[in-house]
Structure 1
Amino acid sequence: MPKLRTRWLVRDRRANAFATWTLLGLATAAGLVALLGGTPLRAAGIGLLVLVAAVPSRPPGTWRRTFVWPLVFVVTLPAHVVAVGAAPLADVAAAVTLATFALAVVVDLHLVTPVRMSTGFSAFFVVVATVGFAGFWAVFAWGAHLLFGTPFVETGDELMLSLSVKTAAGLVIGLGFEWFARRTLPVVDEGGVSP
């Protein structure tokens, strides 16, 4: 079974780093606007996305080592969608972002810990993590609604639809990554060597 290789999703190139840091800067600006606009929950979510997307640049002095910019674009998509006022797309963007965020977490685990995963397990982890993140975020949003009066879904059916959409997005991103890895990426044997 092919092993996850970070070079698939992390690049050390100036053009990629410029695009990635530009997207993260725009997302950070959107997070600050959300914070100043009275939506601290949205600002916290955007801040978390930016922090996870910035992990590959650790340790300091490696600013060019970043996720590939399309991954960062999808991870920060809700910040961009909300910034341009496309609210009807916000729920779909949030679902896709949550699943892509889970994929970024998998790569971050691979980069900064001794954890190593096969591409199949990585895809499974993306699905499970997406469902877990969605559930955690729903409980967090509900708590914020009770404490601070932030917006929250009106009915249980709306909540179930939201969680179902996020689960479906996790399946699509996880299975899409597995398909991509099997079809286009080099096969790596158990010893870590490409044939």
Structure 2
Amino acid sequence: MARSGQLDALLEDRRVNAGIGWALLAFVAVATLESVLDTDWVWVVISAFVVVLAALPAVIYRSARVMVPWEVLLLATLPMLARSLAGPGTLGQVAAYLSVAAVALIIAVELDVFTAVRMTTSFAVVFVVIATMATAGSWAVVQWLSDIYLGTTFIYPTSPPVGPAVDEAALESLMWDFVAATAAGLLGGLVFALYFRERSDTRLTPLGASGEGK
């Protein structure tokens, strides 16, 4: 894509943001390698999505300086750090949903900043929440099908069939997972609404807007 004078001006003011952003992506890449070594494929997928989405603007505009706000990437890396410290369990599961919300947040920010798409505050919140809940729901279905047909123990403590009490306990745990996913999505949406929408005009002027870059 040909670079315009406006893009040159935008890139010139984004060196610090890009530097911090690439440093955070390097951390995510290391976390991805760790997840591969641990055969933790859920985190491998999440980390890979973060890397691909964050690097996409630089690839499209052919410049390493075009990067989403580093604060967005920080939100995506914090759950990975929490996962490394917490390991498997409830906190690790919540961290996974926070990372999913961060991925949805990255998508929302990139659409709003780097394309002609404009999101209202309410729509951005709804987008991030629904994307996080949809991911959690899809993953729950995959886990349940795996337990039923492959004999895994993602949802149930033992391979099915299980008794009514075990089935009820697993269902309750799954419902709390959905609560955690909803809370994570709300947090991501509110971050977009309260912070990035206010600063997007001064930090990252949309490339398609008229006038000179900030």
Q: Same fold (TM over 0.5)?
A: yes
Which residue does 2:192 correspond to in 1? 177
Amino acid at match of 1:135: G
Alignment of 1:92-103 (within 5 A): 92-103=94-105
Which residue does 2:67 correspond to in 1? 66
Larger radius of gyration: 2
Cα 1:115–1:16, aligned 2, differ >3 Å: closer, same or farther? closer
8 Å Cα contact 2:72-2:105 kept in structure 1:
no
Which residue does 2:139 correspond to in 1? 137
Amino acid at match of 2:44: A
Which residue does 1:36 correspond to in 2? 37
Alignment of 1:150-189 (within 5 A): 152-154=154-156, 155-180=170-195
Which residue does 2:126 correspond to in 1? 124
Cα 1:171–1:158, aligned 2, differ >3 Å: closer, same or farther? same
Structure 2 CA distance, aligned partners of 1:70 and 1:103?
11
TM-score of the superposed pair, with normalisation by structure 2: 0.67
8 Å Cα contact 2:21-2:70 kept in structure 1:
yes
Which segment drifts farther, 11-20 or 41-50?
Answer: 11-20
Structure 1 CA distance, aligned partners of 2:80 and 2:151?
21
In the TM superposition, residue 162 of structure 1 has moved relative to its aligned partner by 0.9
Structure 2 CA distance, aligned partners of 1:62 and 1:42?
28
Amino acid at match of 1:164: V
Amino acid at match of 1:153: I
Query: What are the superposed Cα offsets for residues 160-195 of structure 1, whole Å, 9 maximum, x if unpaired?
Result: 101111102212332343244677776xxxxx78xx
Which residue does 2:56 correspond to in 1? 55
8 Å Cα contact 2:25-2:51 kept in structure 1:
yes
Structure 1 CA distance, aligned partners of 2:83 and 2:130?
26
In the alignment, structure 2 segments of 5+ residues that lack a partner are 1-9, 157-169, 202-208
Structure 1 CA distance, aligned partners of 2:88 and 2:189?
25
Cα 1:141–1:25, aligned 2, differ >3 Å: closer, same or farther? farther
Amino acid at match of 2:82: V
8 Å Cα contact 2:21-2:67 kept in structure 1:
yes
Query: What are the superposed Cα offsets for residues 21-59 of structure 1, whole Å, 9 maximum, x if unpaired?
Result: 111111112112211222223212221222122222232
Which segment drifts farther, 176-185 or 16-25?
Answer: 176-185
Structure 1 CA distance, aligned partners of 2:198 and 2:61?
35
How many pairs does the alignment contain? Answer: 181
Structure 2 CA distance, aligned partners of 1:168 and 1:161?
10
Q: Percent same amino acid at aligned positions?
A: 34
Amino acid at match of 1:159: L
In the TM superposition, residue 20 of structure 1 has moved relative to its aligned partner by 1.3
Q: Output the aligned Cα RMSD.
A: 3.3
